[in-house]
A and B are shown apart, each in its own frame.
Chain A
Amino acid sequence: MGETISETKTPRRISSFFLIIIVVTLALSIVAIFSGVNAYISGDSGTVYPSLLIGVSGLALSAYMLFQTRRRTMQIAIKMQPVTTTIRCRKCGFKNLREFQRGDYIFKEAEECPKCTEKMQIASIYREAKENE
């Protein structure tokens, strides 16, 4: 009965305002990097570092924003953990553990005991929760 359901991808409309911000940041970052490289070639060491710093951070920022617009596949938290049914013989104490089946309920009469042929009973139905629950 253990099941995990994940959501499917669907196309998403990106806001034009958001797209303009990304494009402007990207363009400015490229210009800044270009300026840094130019400064380095012409030997203007004072402009190299600020231009490259601005360019790289702008590039990282626009890349992050672009990445955020991608629709991520979400894992929906409908995770059913296995539910165990314990069947016990009231006479000899024989115990049998199995996966829950539809129709099981606590104190329901179950099949005959393989040891003493007495009718067994469902003693418990439970799930074992994860540590972090």
Chain B
Amino acid sequence: MIPNVAQLVPTEDNLIGWILQIAWLGFFVVFMFYGQRIQIYVMLREIEGSLRRVKYIKDEGRKDAISTIKELGKPKEDPTARVDRFLEYIAIQPMNMDPTGIVWKLEHILDVRDVRFEDEVKLMAPEADETQIKNLENTLEAALALNYIYKIIRHFYMLGKKTLSLYVIMQLQMVLPLVMREAEAFASALKAFTYGQPIGDGAGALVAAQLMQGHEKKKIAKDIVMATVPFEGRKAYVLKAEGPGGNVGKPGEAIKKILEDNKGKIATIVVIDAALKFEGEKAGDVAEGVGVAIGGPGVEQFKSEETILKYKVPVNAVVIKEDIRDAVSPLRKEIFEAANTAIDRIRRLILERTKEGDAVIIAGIGNTIGIGQ
């Protein structure tokens, strides 16, 4: 028998019906006036879960960093306090009200930061060798990034909780999945750095390392090595960051030096780097185009472009696609194999766009951790 809706309406002698009716009305009123507040509480609960998760990841990262420093550096005193101080380290960007010359100011700040980081790590881990120092520096930088992400989420969570502003909380909740992806990527980066494993970002450096195998290398700029390699009848100046320690070097400086040493007589420049892929694209896909494919804060790209423009040298880019997690996680097989595809692309590009006897620059960009030369 299908019940009639009219039967839900209470009659005079139906006390329970009255109670139910009042209760449902009560619910209606509560949701009408407090609906937004309930929504805020639900969102805050979700953010709280993510915050606990990031806190856990960050604490694990800190512990890993400390234990690796103890293991590799064999410090006489406990490095925990020094590590904790390091995790609060800040670098202030130069003032951009008058942007003239800002690149050089930024470069100086980054140089000072690098020297400071290296000195700190040397003090924390006195027994570590050069490669281990670079890897520990990278490990601490990943721990610092995780600490920063945690603080940002906590800041907006607490602000939202204090003000009960739907818009503050909603903004945080909307970007949270992306922030969590980044936090998880840094967590796996930290693991890779502690072990000194090659990472996805080193795809460009791997291509250059393969090309310079068996040839004499020399240092031409800060943390950059170069080899002169005969390549399809051309003279190729192949460069990459000096490995196997975690390092990106100053490729812009190196490109500038080679161009000036050759008085601009370079037929073409090929820059190989890892690039972020769009969702739906496959990791390890290779794409090519024009321009200086150098990531990071932009200083090295700017320096390269300045010199390239001065001599009007054609510049080509070959990129290996990967997502943020692949970029900082141990090298994926697909990305490793993509290095051969990238070399084929470089070969075709040079054969098509240069003549026999020409000089070319092949620059492999990226963090060279776990990649020798």
Contacts and interface: CB of A to CB of B under 8 A. Distances in A.
Interface of A: 1, 5, 7, 15, 17-18, 24, 28, 31-32, 34-35, 45-47, 49-51, 54, 74, 76-78, 80-81, 83, 100, 102-108, 124-129, 133
B231 interface: no
A129 B7 contact: no
A125 B370 contact: yes
Nearest to B55: A7
A45 B19 CA distance: 20
Nearest to B245: A105
A82 B138 CA distance: 21
B20 A31 contact: yes
B311 interface: no
A12 B305 CA distance: 56
A13 to B, nearest CB: 11
B291 interface: no
Nearest to B335: A126
Contact of A78 (B19, B184, B243): B184
Contacts of B326: 129
A126 B199 CA distance: 9
B331 A127 contact: yes
A127 B333 contact: yes
B contacts with A: majority SS: helix
B332 A80 contact: no
A47 B49 CA distance: 43
A127 B184 contact: no
B323 to A, nearest CB: 9
B195 A102 contact: yes
B4 interface: yes
Contacts, number: 115
B244 A83 contact: no
B191 A128 contact: no
B371 A80 contact: no
Contact of A103 (B7, B52, B184, B196): B196
B216 interface: no
Interface of B: 1, 3-4, 7-8, 14, 16-17, 19-20, 23, 41, 49, 52-53, 56-57, 60, 184, 187-188, 191, 195-198, 206, 209, 213, 243-244, 283, 325-326, 329-336, 370-373
A124 B336 contact: yes
Nearest to A10: B52
A7 B244 contact: no
Contacts of A28: 19-20, 23
Contacts of A54: 20
A107 B20 CA distance: 76
Given A80-B191, A127-B329, A129-B283, A105 B16 contact: no
Contacts of A1: 195
Nearest to B329: A127
A78 B325 CA distance: 11
Given A46-B7, A78-B187, A107-B372, A125 B53 contact: no
A28 B331 CA distance: 58
Contacts of A34: 16
A88 B49 CA distance: 47
Nearest to A125: B198
Nearest to A106: B371
Contacts of A80: 188, 191, 330
A71 B249 CA distance: 46
A125 B371 CA distance: 9
Nearest to A46: B7
A78 B371 contact: no
A66 B225 CA distance: 62
Nearest to B71: A102
Nearest first, the 5 closest Cβ-Cβ pairs linking A and B are A105-B244, A107-B372, A35-B16, A49-B3, A126-B336
Contacts of B52: 7, 74
A49 B5 CA distance: 11
Contacts of B331: 125-127
12 contacts: A7-B53, A31-B20, A35-B20, A46-B4, A49-B3, A80-B188, A100-B197, A105-B372, A106-B206, A106-B371, A126-B336, A129-B283
A83 B197 CA distance: 8
Contact of A46 (B3, B196, B244): B3
Contacts of A49: 1, 3
Contacts of A17: 41
Given A46-B4, A125-B331, A129-B333, A105 B371 contact: yes
Contact of B57 (A31, A78, A104, A126): A78
Contacts of B196: 102-105
A128 B336 CA distance: 10
Contact of B243 (A7, A100, A105, A126): A105
